[in-house]
Amino acid sequence: MSAADVFLPRDLPLWQAARPFLDVRNNDEHTIVAYGLARALLAQIPEADESVVLPAVVLHDVGWKRIPEELLLLAIGRNPTRKDLVREHELHSVAIAREILERLRPAGVDIEAVLAIIDGHDTTREARSLNDAVLKDADKGWRTTPHGMRTIAGWYGVPVTEILMMLRERSNALMLTPQGRALAEANTAAVAAEQQIQQYLGRGPEFPVFAVSEGAQW
């Protein structure tokens, strides 16, 4: 699979420009998965403007690059002690995103509309617009994916059962669209059910990881 299979051709130069800013706190991986989720949500919410939402997904977290790496995990999690850094990263993201967008000038993209939903994507919980809601749902929906859960578990050294509890008690309730909430609940339910395979079968999943190679004939 190439990057072109994930990113639309219009957004691939944005990704390439953003990538040097995303190599902290797994933000590069997060951005790829969140972009895929955003495309899935947009397919179900055609009233939203993909030319605003998708560039915003690519660029929304570039500002974490300007936060000292040793402070990153203090800004998130169950008991964050540096919530101010969340707002700081948003402001940095807007500044970096503006430079990238104004330099590349992607066709058909309203730069100010993209920056408006990057600003506040974490610190405002309500949906300020439909585009804002889809960005927020793609961003937070990442937590409910197997990739998101593995990543969060790795950051904090906690079992998946604790991640599932966090999602059910706190995160899933923050989803802003019916489609986003359904996605989050379905992902959470699927991973939770997988954890019960041992209980019902007396063994774990036969295939706990994906095969490394590609190109098998179906």
Q: Model pTM greater than 0.95? A: no
Evaluate whether 164 touches 188 at the Cβ level (below 8 Å). Answer: yes
Report the CATH number of the 3-141 domain. Answer: 1.10.3210
The three-state (H, E, C) secondary structure of the chain, written as one string = CCHHHHCCCCCHHHHHHHHHHCCCCCHHHHHHHHHHHHHHHHHHCCCCCHHHHHHHHHHCCHHHHHCCHHHHHHCCCCCCCCCHHHHHHHHHHHHHHHHHHHHHCCCCCCHHHHHHHHCCCCCCCCCCCHHHHHHHHHHHHHHHCHHHHHHHHHHHCCCHHHHHHHHHHHHHHHCCCHHHHHHHHHHHHHHHHHCCHHHHHCCCCCCCCCCCCCCCCC
Q: What is the pLDDT along the chain (218 residues), one digit of tens a residue?
A: 454 589 999 999 999 999 999 999 899 999 999 999 999 999 999 999 999 999 999 999 999 899 888 777 777 766 776 778 889 999 999 999 999 999 999 999 999 999 999 999 989 989 999 999 999 999 999 999 999 999 999 988 899 999 999 999 999 999 999 999 999 999 999 999 999 999 999 999 998 888 766 655 55
- Domain spans of the chain? 3-141
